[in-house]
Structure formats: structure tokens, C-alpha cells
């Protein structure tokens, strides 16, 4: 294939370097964006009087045909020797409209072209990630609604700490994911300026109207303000990959919690067969592979962010070919995160909590010790003393192998002379939960109110 830049060269490329240099294998994903960008560019060249109206129409028709044909049959790109997607589209355009194709690149560079393509692609792609986040939020809110009042042991240091509700635990992840959604939205808004017209680095010398060009391509922030920045910056890609990283990290923590919940030892949660696998050797096994993969894939996404940041570090202005390496990490972070969100939502929809086991576990192991100390506090005991005395009671209870409320009456009377109420009822899981009715707390009423608030927010998201 004829090179776009062959004029000053006498020799041919070494085939090994030619393959090394070729990015079509991955930047072919930008084809649709490349066509859109080129159509807008052709129209602006027409408006600027560089191309005649009839020429613009022929170019646009040719570009649109290339878009349609490659969408219908992507194998058209297989085996092409084009250097990158931009060269591919241009050579396909030669086949459609002949020599006129050579006029399209007037005043444009692959540098502003690729920067524009990447943003156009990312806008759609990460809009999809956002809606997958919303879908997972919806699945978790439904589960939280169902289990708003169901007790579950809450942990710190992976030691049983205080009872919480299943709904509360689920809504913690909803908070995280909603922030991820907001972060994506912010990143997309910040990215929304149009590089086209920056040309190679200094700005195009043809009188195209950049605000109109930006508008044609749907960039709400107008044209990028500095041509060097427009072609040389990829902080938007870094931000989007960071958004993916943060999502992946949140999902990995959810995965870890649920993997633990699904162990025989905990027995709080069962995954549906549709997302579980067995062992090739041990017939009894049912493994939570879905969540293990979600947890594992976070590593890749973190690696993608690392690759991008390290590639950009210390690059001089403006464009450098290093930047061709921006695409694979961006695409991989997108693919991986989208897939993780998708399967996490499926796993969430099929997850079955064993409410009885969760409640039983929340009721044993002194998760109500804080509440016993708090009862002493309400009798006027300073908290430090209450803590100390409750600790002594825990030690006694451990020796006897009973819960605090089941200590012998004589022991209770000796340890806590100021308490005369029915301890079994005062320290019941239900009571312990209902005392946490502070805003953001775990009481069933609060969780139900939070579920209502989330449903409202989701409605405002258009769900």
C-alpha cells in the first residue's frame, strides 16, 4: 500500500519495522469515529471554500459507504497492509472516489485526527461503562430493598464487630459505585473539547471554523484551546482509565466480601449455578469463579493505568509516536471493566442470602458488647469504665462458652448491679440494629430510607 508520507523516502521499510509500526490491528476500533471525524472535516473544508460542494458530497458519500461496509463486514480490515486506521480509511476512499480522496487531508494531520477519533470513541464507550455502573447499582439496590432488615455480622479486621443489615452492606457498594459514576461523568465532561483543526501541532492554516467543527462532532466544550495541548495530551485517557481502575477496585472488594460470604465457613450467600463452576477432580465443589475473576481482573486494569502514565511521563511536546501506545491500555481497561460490571450484575441478581444463617452469625460472638457498655453509660457510668467492665464480662462469658445475655443471673447481678432490665431483649440483634438509626447508620428504618433515596436518584439518572 502506498504510504501517506512516501515522497521524501527512497528506500522501503524493513518488514520487521513495518509490522512493529503498524497499529491497524488495534486502532481499527476507531474506524467509525475516524469516518465521523473525516465527514465533519470534509464539510468544514467545503465551508471554508477549500473544496467545492460537489466534492464534499462525493467525499462524504464515500466515507459513509466505507463506514457502512466495514461495519457490515469487519473482515475487510483483516490482512490490510495499511499502517493505521487513518491510512486504511484514506486508501479505501481512493478506491471509492479516486484522486479526490487526496484532497481530504488538506490542513489536517493524523495527530489531530487520532486525538479526535480517540475522544469520539471514548465518549460512546465510557457512556456505556456509565450505564453498566447504573445497572449494577440497580441490582444492588433491589437486593438491599429485599434484605433491608436482615441481620449480618459486620467485620473489622475480618473479626466479627457489630451486627449490620445485609441491606446496609449492599448499599455501601452502591455509594462507591455512584461516586464512580460521577467520576466518569466528570471525566467525560472535562474531555469534551475538539482537537480537530490543531493539525500536526501548530493549528491548521486553512480557514476552517473550529467552533462549528466542534459542534458538528458533538463536542460541548467547543474547540480545544491550544493546538499543542490538543494533539499532545492524553490526560483524558488517563482519567478514564483511572475511573475504570477505581471501579475495578470497588468490584474487587465486593468480590472478596462475597467470596468470603459464600464459603462453607460463613455460609451467608450462595451464587446461582449460572455463574458458578465445579472442580474437574472434586465432585462436591462449587466455586465462586465469577467473583474471583472480577477480583483478579482488577490487576489488569491497574496495569493499564500504569502503562498509560509511564508512557506519557517526560514526553516532550507535541506528538510523539510513543502515544500510539495509548490505545491498547485504554481499550483493555474499557473491555475489562465493562465485562466485570456486566457479570457482577448477573451475579448480584442471582445471589441468594441465607438470612437465617446471617442472623444467627450476627447473634453470636459478642457483637452486642458495645451495646452492653452503652447501657452502662446510660446508667451514668463513664464509657471507659463501662468498656472495662464489659470486657471482664466477655472474658467470663468466653470461659463459660455463653453469650453475654446468657451469663448466669448471679454473675450479671454481680458485674452489673445497676442494670435491671431484660438483658436478652436489650441486647437482641434487633435492638442493637434499631439503635443505629442515625443518618448513614445500619438500622432497618435507615436502610429502607436509603433504598428509597437511591431509587429516587436512579430515577433522576433516567432509570
Q: Catalog residues that contact ligand ARG under the rule CB under 6 A.
A: 23, 27, 84, 110-111, 114, 319, 321, 323-324
Pick 110 or 130: Cβ nearer ligand ARG: 110
The rounded distance, in Å, linking the Cα atoms of 418 and 395 is: 20
Cβ 337 vs Cβ 129: under 8 Å: yes
The rounded distance, in Å, linking the Cα atoms of 434 and 429 is: 9
Query: What backbone torsions phi and psi does residue 18 show, to the nearest 5 degrees?
Result: -55, -45
C-alpha grid cell for residue 456?
429516587
Closest CA to 57 of 36, 43, 41: 43
157 flagged as catalytic: yes
In angstroms, give the least distance from the CB of 209 to ligand ARG: 24
Pick 29 or 446: Cβ nearer ligand ARG: 29
The helix or strand, by DSSP H or E, that contains position 371, with its residue range, turns out to be helix 369-378
In angstroms, give the least distance from the CB of 88 to ligand ARG: 11
Cβ 63 vs Cβ 38: under 8 Å: yes
In angstroms, give the least distance from the CB of 301 to ligand ARG: 21
The single residue of 279, 387, 428, 443 carrying the catalytic annotation is 279
| Nearby residues of 291 by Cβ (< 8 Å), 6 or more positions away | 254, 255, 256, 258, 259, 262, 271, 344, 347
The single residue of 23, 87, 131, 157 carrying the catalytic annotation is 157
Pick 319 or 416: Cβ nearer ligand ARG: 319
The rounded distance, in Å, linking the Cα atoms of 449 and 463 is: 19
End-to-end C-alpha distance for the chain, whole angstroms: 49
Pick 114 or 174: Cβ nearer ligand ARG: 114
Pick 23 or 442: Cβ nearer ligand ARG: 23
**DSSP per residue, 191-249:** T--B-TT-TTTT--SS---HHHHHHHTT-TT-B-S-HHHHHH--HHHHHHHHHHHHHHH
Query: What backbone torsions phi and psi does residue 282 show, to the nearest 5 degrees?
Result: -95, 110
In angstroms, give the least distance from the CB of 77 to ligand ARG: 14
In angstroms, give the least distance from the CB of 79 to ligand ARG: 18
105 flagged as catalytic: no
In angstroms, give the least distance from the CB of 111 to ligand ARG: 5
Pick 27 or 239: Cβ nearer ligand ARG: 27
Catalytic residue list: 157, 279
Amino acid at each position: 500500500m502506498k504510504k501517506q508520507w512516501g515522497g521524501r523516502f527512497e528506500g522501503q521499510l524493513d518488514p520487521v519495522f513495518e509490522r512493529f509500526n503498524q497499529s491497524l490491528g488495534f486502532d481499527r476500533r476507531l474506524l467509525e469515529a475516524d469516518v465521523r471525524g473525516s465527514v465533519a472535516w470534509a464539510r468544514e473544508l467545503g465551508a471554508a471554500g477549500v473544496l467545492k460542494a460537489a466534492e464534499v458530497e462525493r467525499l462524504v458519500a464515500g466515507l459513509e459507504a466505507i463506514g457502512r461496509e466495514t461495519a457490515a463486514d469487519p473482515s475487510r480490515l483483516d490482512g490490510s497492509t495499511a499502517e493505521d486506521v487513518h491510512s486504511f480509511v484514506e486508501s479505501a476512499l481512493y478506491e471509492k472516489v479516486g484522486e479526490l480522496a487526496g484532497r481530504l487531508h488538506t490542513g489536517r494531520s493524523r495527530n489531530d485526527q487520532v486525538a479526535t477519533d480517540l475522544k469520539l470513541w471514548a465518549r460512546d464507550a465510557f457512556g456505556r461503562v456509565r450505564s453498566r455502573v447504573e445497572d449494577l447499582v440497580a441490582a444492588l439496590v433491589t437486593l438491599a430493598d429485599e434484605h433491608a432488615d436482615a441481620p449480618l455480622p459486620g467485620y473489622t479486621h475480618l473479626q466479627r464487630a457489630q451486627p449490620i443489615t445485609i441491606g446496609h452492606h449492599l448499599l455501601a457498594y452502591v455509594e462507591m459505585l455512584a461516586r464512580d459514576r460521577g467520576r466518569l461523568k466528570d471525566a467525560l465532561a472535562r474531555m469534551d473539547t475538539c482537537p480537530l483543526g490543531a493539525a500536526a501541532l501548530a493549528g491548521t492554516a486553512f480557514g476552517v471554523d473550529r467552533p462549528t467543527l466542534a459542534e458538528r462532532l458533538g463536542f460541548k466544550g467547543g474547540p480545544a484551546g491550544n493546538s499543542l495541548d490538543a494533539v499532545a495530551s492524553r490526560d483524558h485517557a488517563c482519567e478514564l482509565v483511572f475511573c475504570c481502575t477505581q471501579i475495578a477496585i470497588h468490584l474487587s472488594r465486593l468480590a472478596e466480601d462475597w467470596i468470603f460470604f459464600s464459603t462453607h465457613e460463613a455460609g451467608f450467600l450462595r451464587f446461582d449455578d449460572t455463574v458458578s463452576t465445579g472442580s474437574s477432580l472434586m465432585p462436591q465443589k462449587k466455586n465462586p469463579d465469577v467473583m474471583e475473576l472480577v477480583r483478579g481482573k482488577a490487576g489488569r486494569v491497574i496495569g493499564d493505568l500504569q502503562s498509560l502514565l509511564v508512557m506519557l511521563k517526560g514526553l516532550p511536546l507535541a506528538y510523539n509516536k510513543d502515544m500510539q501506545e495509548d490505545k491498547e491500555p485504554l481499550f483493555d481497561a474499557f473491555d475489562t471493566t465493562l465485562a466485570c460490571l456486566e457479570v457482577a450484575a448477573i451475579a448480584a441478581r442471582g445471589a441468594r442470602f441465607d438470612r437465617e444463617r446471617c442472623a444467627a452469625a450476627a447473634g453470636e460472638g459478642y457483637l452486642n458488647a458495645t451495646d452492653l457498655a452503652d447501657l452502662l453509660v446510660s446508667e451514668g457510668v463513664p464509657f471507659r469504665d463501662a468498656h472495662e467492665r464489659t470486657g471482664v464480662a466477655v472474658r467470663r462469658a468466653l470461659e463459660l462458652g455463653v453469650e453475654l445475655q446468657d451469663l448466669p443471673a448471679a454473675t450479671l447481678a454481680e458485674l452489673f448491679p445497676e442494670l435491671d432490665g431484660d438483658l436478652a431483649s436489650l441486647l437482641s440483634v434487633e435492638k442493637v440494629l434499631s439503635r443505629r438509626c442515625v443518618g448513614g447508620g445500619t438500622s432497618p428504618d435507615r436502610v429502607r430510607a436509603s433504598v428509597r433515596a437511591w431509587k429516587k436518584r436512579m430515577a433522576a439518572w433516567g432509570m
